[in-house]
Structure 1
Amino acid sequence: MTTSDVNTVLASDFDGFRVQVDAEAERADIILGRPPLNVISMPQRDELRRVFEALDAHDGVRVIVLRAEGEHFSSGGDIKGFLEASPEHVSKLADNVAAPARCSKPVIAANRGYTFGVGFELSLACDFRIASETTLYALPEQKLGQIPGSGGSARLQKIIGIARTKHMVMRAKRIGGAQALAWGIATECVPDAELGSATDALVEELRGFSPLAQRTAKRLINDNEDAPLSVAIEMEGHCYSRLRASSDFREGVEAFHAKRRAVFTGK
């Protein structure tokens, strides 16, 4: 995607969300903006995918934050939209929701209040989930005679295992932020008033690392999720070897010996 393409996408009017780029902080925020429940429409999913792809290609963005206006992250998708959508369109839903996982840059989901359905699935596709103590995570599709259709049960099972996934999916159970932290779904659980500052702190922490090493680590971990241990170790070794030839690695080593902060360039 060219710089012109990136600018064109980011200058668009979006359905149910807005994008905020802070060049000085090397940060982009995707902000769900249909309060109070931030219901995610069918067209919005396509637009979110395009925005993630544009921000991935944006040279001035190091970290992406997915958050929402109001007291709830998202109550889920537009139920009526499912009945109106074509089978072909519905078959692409999981691909759209996987956009944060495909993005080479770190993606943080800042969750509070209802984080249901596709809102939860989008968050699960992010690298880090910071939950406020008000957060309720759920995949309630069983109440509609359905199952999660955008990777929710699959990603959740990888994180919490089969028994807990059945508890959440087959019984449509909600769990709070503290329980999500204990189960490994959330990276952090903080008081609601501290969600913004906790997100800011994680952004700054991630900015301090080498962009090249961050991209490599994310790709390696994602690709190795289903790999046998021997293959995963082999791939880790190849990636380690390639990074040894990078300017960022040399800078990191020199900064360590000089007892100064490293200045990474992503090369």
Structure 2
Amino acid sequence: MTETDPRLAGLDGFRVEVDADRQRADVVLDRPPFNVVTMPQRDQLRAAFEALDEHDGVRVIVLRGEGEHFSSGGYIKGFLESSPETVSRLAWNIAAPARCSKPVIAANRGYCFGVGFEISLACDFRIASETTEYALPEQRLGQIPGSGGSARLQKIVGITRTKDIVMRSRRIPARQAYDWGIATEIVADAELEAATQALVEELVGFAPLAQRTAKKLLNDTEDALLTTAIELEGHCYSRLRMSDDFREGVEAFHEKRKPAFRGR
């Protein structure tokens, strides 16, 4: 896959940037000031993540917004204008970061509402600036979250806090989100990009195969019994035991040098 991939052409309300030197790709919501997400944009976001997942030069994907707000949510009239078939794909499209085999970081600032919050929850890491406010405001429209927001949130913070957020359309500031485990890290607004790049560099330093395996294992066992999760972990460990990267990691450790992982 290259930057000429047709899936990355004619994008609606966002752009994709690939930095091969840093092995980083950015999916940038680009409809300021609030980066409202349209219905067609959701399909394109899914396709963009799928394309970047196949890009050999990309190790980590960053999802961020242009300007002072990540996203105030979806284009409201679009829900009434869309067919039932389109609406039924909402959660599948927004789950694209979770399905992506590579680590995905959401860099949040300002408003992170509705689908903006939901797609952030589908990412592996959420770095929040101190200006961030998270919310699922659909109750104010006579609706509920429809792109996996309430389900993912309940897994993170439990049913009591999820009811408090969803049923009251409450805004959760960055500090509270961090305390509740929604945000991975909280930083000053001016430090958001530096903190994001620091995490990118950290993740790039690990073995690609081990990273992909860890992400898939954790996602697949989120709802599993403890005994099942332990069994699957053992199988994954056994497969990685045979990888070139694991051998390189062990040898580098004993030789007191930085490992040169090759992803196999």
TM-score under structure 1 length normalisation: 0.98
2:128 is paired with a residue whose SS is strand
**Following the alignment from structure 1 to structure 2, what is the Cα–Cα distance between the partners of residues 7 and 86?**
28
Counterpart for residue 62 of structure 1: 59
Counterpart for residue 125 of structure 2: 128
Q: Contact between 2:90 and 2:147, CA under 8 Å: does it hold in 1?
A: yes
**Following the alignment from structure 2 to structure 1, what is the Cα–Cα distance between the partners of residues 94 and 2?**
25
2:134 is paired with a residue whose SS is strand
The answer to whether 1:23 aligns with 2:20 is yes
Which runs of structure 2 are paired with 1:108-187 in the superposition (5 Å)? 108-187=105-184
**Following the alignment from structure 2 to structure 1, what is the Cα–Cα distance between the partners of residues 207 and 135?**
35
**Following the alignment from structure 2 to structure 1, what is the Cα–Cα distance between the partners of residues 24 and 139?**
37
Aligned with 2:90 (options 80, 90, 93): 93
Give per-residue Cα distances to partners, 1:170-210, cap 9 Å, x unaligned: 00000111111100000000000000000000000000000
Give per-residue Cα distances to partners, 1:41-89, cap 9 Å, x unaligned: 0000000000000000111100000001100000000000001000111
Which runs of structure 2 are paired with 1:202-213 in the superposition (5 Å)? 202-213=199-210
**Following the alignment from structure 1 to structure 2, what is the Cα–Cα distance between the partners of residues 8 and 91?**
25
Q: Contact between 2:3 and 2:18, CA under 8 Å: does it hold in 1?
A: no
**Following the alignment from structure 2 to structure 1, what is the Cα–Cα distance between the partners of residues 75 and 96?**
19
The number of residue pairs the alignment matches comes to 264
Counterpart for residue 7 of structure 2: 9
Matching residue's letter, 2:137: P
Counterpart for residue 200 of structure 1: 197
Structure 2 unmatched runs, 5+: none
**Following the alignment from structure 2 to structure 1, what is the Cα–Cα distance between the partners of residues 17 and 198?**
18
Q: CA deviation at 1:7?
A: 2.1
Q: Contact between 2:7 and 2:44, CA under 8 Å: does it hold in 1?
A: no
Structure 1 unmatched runs, 5+: none
Q: CA deviation at 1:22?
A: 0.4
Structure 1 residues 121, 243: closer, same or farther in 2, change over 3 A? same
Give per-residue Cα distances to partners, 1:16-48, cap 9 Å, x unaligned: 000000011111000000000000000000000
Counterpart for residue 236 of structure 1: 233
1:31 is paired with a residue whose SS is strand
Q: Contact between 1:108 and 1:129, CA under 8 Å: does it hold in 2?
A: yes
Q: Contact between 1:6 and 1:58, CA under 8 Å: does it hold in 2?
A: no
Counterpart for residue 72 of structure 2: 75
Counterpart for residue 243 of structure 2: 246
**Deviation beyond 4 Å, 4+ runs, structure 1:** none
**Following the alignment from structure 1 to structure 2, what is the Cα–Cα distance between the partners of residues 81 and 134?**
28
Aligned Cα RMSD in Å? 1.0
Q: Contact between 2:63 and 2:107, CA under 8 Å: does it hold in 1?
A: yes
Give per-residue Cα distances to partners, 1:69-113, cap 9 Å, x unaligned: 100000000000001000111000000000000000000000000
Counterpart for residue 212 of structure 2: 215
1:70 is paired with a residue whose SS is coil
Q: Contact between 1:6 and 1:54, CA under 8 Å: does it hold in 2?
A: no
Q: Contact between 1:6 and 1:57, CA under 8 Å: does it hold in 2?
A: no
1:66 is paired with a residue whose SS is strand
Q: CA deviation at 1:9?
A: 1.9
Structure 1 vs Structure 2: percent identity of aligned residues? 74
2:258 is paired with a residue whose SS is coil
